[in-house]
Amino acid sequence: MISTLVVLGIIAAIVFWGISIYNGLVAMRQRVSQAFADVDVQLKQRHDLIPNLIETVKGYVTHERETLDAVVKARNAAIAAQGPAAQGQAETMLSGALRQLFALSEAYPDLKASTNFQQLQSELSDIENKIAAARRFFNNAVQEYNTGIQSFPAVLVAGSLGFHQREFFDLGDARPQLEQAPQVKF
């Protein structure tokens, strides 16, 4: 009788251990998904702001079609990108195109003085800061999740339960270029 109770106690402890590991991994996976959704919302706001910015710039800049087309092309690529790695790369290209667009304002004083342009530039800067914060939160959640599924004892069951490593939202090799001030030529 006592040995049966001991065996049942051990089985109950193993089941409880398995349930707690599974629930912990599910909670971390959900946090990663939520964090990515936050990044996605911020990116959508940025994508929605860009057409207004382009229309404003078109009113002042008539001979810079190539720069405007590059922004539109980069925006469309960013919208179509799927997954953190692809989105990170596409957003890096979009940021570079936007930097060139803002560099145009130095050559067109009327554009630079436009209140509409200044407001859009300010909104975009605010969104960029929110994107950076959301991206940091997402990468932190991914780091915790990846650590969780690779740590003992979860590593024993994580793979068989469908928990796999997630990608970081990485800006890639273009990060140093984005941190430099744009070159303005007159």
> Does the residue 159 lie in any domain?
yes
Residue 67: pLDDT band with limits 50, 70, 90: confident
Res. 181: pLDDT tops 50: no
> Does the residue 155 lie in any domain?
yes
Produce one character per residue of 36-58: b if its CB has 16 or more CB atoms within 10 Å, e if not.
bebbeebbeebbebbeebbebbe
> Does the residue 175 lie in any domain?
no
> Does the residue 182 lie in any domain?
no
Match 């970081």 to its residue by tokens.
Answer: 168
For residue 182, give the DSSP letter.
P
- Number of residues that make up the chain: 186
State the pLDDT at residue 184: 42
> Does the residue 56 lie in any domain?
yes
> Does the residue 181 lie in any domain?
no
Number of structural domains, the chain? 1
Q: What share of the chain is helix, strand, coil (3-state, %, to 5)?
A: 80, 0, 20
What are the structure tokens assigned to 173, written together? Answer: 């090799």
Mean pLDDT, rounded, of the chain:
87
Q: What is the CA radius of gyration of the chain?
A: 24
Which H or E element spans position 62?
none
Contact 108, 61 (CB under 8 A): yes
> Does the residue 69 lie in any domain?
yes
Winning range, highest mean pLDDT, from 93-107, 141-155, 172-186 = 141-155
Say which range, 6-15, 41-50, 55-64, has the weakest mean pLDDT: 55-64
DSSP labels, 133-181:
HHHHHHHHHHHHHHHHHHSTTGGGTTTTTT---------GGGHHHHTSP
Match 């959640």 to its residue by tokens.
Answer: 141
State the pLDDT at residue 177: 52
Res. 66: pLDDT tops 90: no
As a whole number of angstroms, the distance between CA 7 and CA 36 comes to: 44
Res. 183: pLDDT tops 50: no
Domain with 7 in it: 1-169
- Please report, for the domain that includes residue 60, its CATH number: 1.20.1440.20
State the pLDDT at residue 172: 66
Tell me the pTM.
0.78
Q: Mean per-residue pLDDT for 127-133?
A: 91
